[in-house]
Chain A
């Protein structure tokens, strides 16, 4: 297989970062809203936010790992 097509495939895997970035931005925006409304609950909100961000980020990480596997094993 050509190196070019492998590179295109690896790049396409990283499209998952788009969705992850959108999701993380939305979640953070909502968290800022929530803190603005209830500043006293900021500790709880931030711990929930961090957990949600970790779960959202895993989408991007899956894409990243898939891209790495594509790059390293399809040679």
Chain B
């Protein structure tokens, strides 16, 4: 522990306290109407910034004093997820986290079904209201894209949406999200590909599906087949690239801030770890529905 650290600690504490008390002082003055309000408001904003910066410095210094100055780690992001040692086997972290997420979701669903709502009532109350709202809105969204698929597709859409959002939430714990691994996204895109062809063949038959691929003239058939096969590749790459991009930005931020990674990453992470994955899940779901609709409806027109 160096004396410089202690001095910096005291200075930042003084700055934070000064900003806080100055803000309070100005707040009490704000009630008087004859004062120059604009200038006071500017001063108040300044004191808020001062107290925030002071408390940030104080926390950083305090952590430094308590834990000592940490070594700056090397910045490294791999294209594939790291291997974890599970019972002596090297298993990718994606698989472990995926199974954990599935277990948590299943147990949560069972608890809600068995203990919170033992029997569904005609007049919904409390958490049943929320569940009905979620299920109903997703069912409505599904049937607005693909008409007449019953509730099966809605259930699938709800499942992948819940799964992707929970996978992204894992990243808040400092673990690499499974959706930032190419194997996971390719698997999800392949499920979509199978569903597209399943609904296309179910609606139109195999002949109808092939005919719809040769829609305007038979010459375009190979091109249509290639572009259909490109759908899972593009969906997998899109999801993977977006999630890995967010991961890299957050890792770079942690690396750049070093020991000062207090408070600031939580604000930036609100976008890159919470809002961005939600948008990506929404886009994945919407694209799945759009492609299924395209495959299922071509022959009817």
Contact = CB atoms under 8 A, between A and B. Distances in A.
Contact of B241 (A47, A51, A65): A65
B78 interface: yes
A61 B243 CA distance: 10
B4 interface: no
Q: How large is the interface on A (under 10, 10 to 19, 20 to 34, 35 or more residues)?
A: 10 to 19
Contacts of A57: 238, 242
Name the residue in B238, B240, B290 with the highest tally of chain A Cβ atoms < 10 Å from its Cβ. B238
Contacts of A61: 237-238, 241-242, 245
Contact of B286 (A54, A58, A65, A73): A54
A12 interface: no
B113 to A, nearest CB: 32
B241 to A, nearest CB: 4
Contact of A69 (B79, B242, B283, B290): B79
Interface of A: 47, 50-51, 54, 57-58, 61-62, 64-65, 68-69, 72-73
Give chain A's interface secondary structure class.
helix
B136 to A, nearest CB: 18
Interface residues of B, number: 15
A54 B288 CA distance: 12
B266 interface: no
Give chain B's interface secondary structure class.
helix
B287 interface: yes
8 contacts: A51-B287, A54-B286, A57-B242, A61-B242, A65-B240, A72-B78, A72-B79, A73-B79
B234 interface: yes
A36 B245 CA distance: 33
B157 interface: no
Contacts of B186: none
Contacts of B57: none
B244 A68 contact: yes
Interface in B212-251: 234, 237-238, 240-242, 244-245
A69 B242 CA distance: 15
B237 A62 contact: yes
A72 to B, nearest CB: 5
Nearest to B286: A51
B78 A54 contact: no
A65 B185 CA distance: 13
Interface in B265-284: 282-283
A47 B282 CA distance: 11
A65 B287 contact: no
A17 B194 CA distance: 31
A54 B285 CA distance: 12
B238 A54 contact: yes
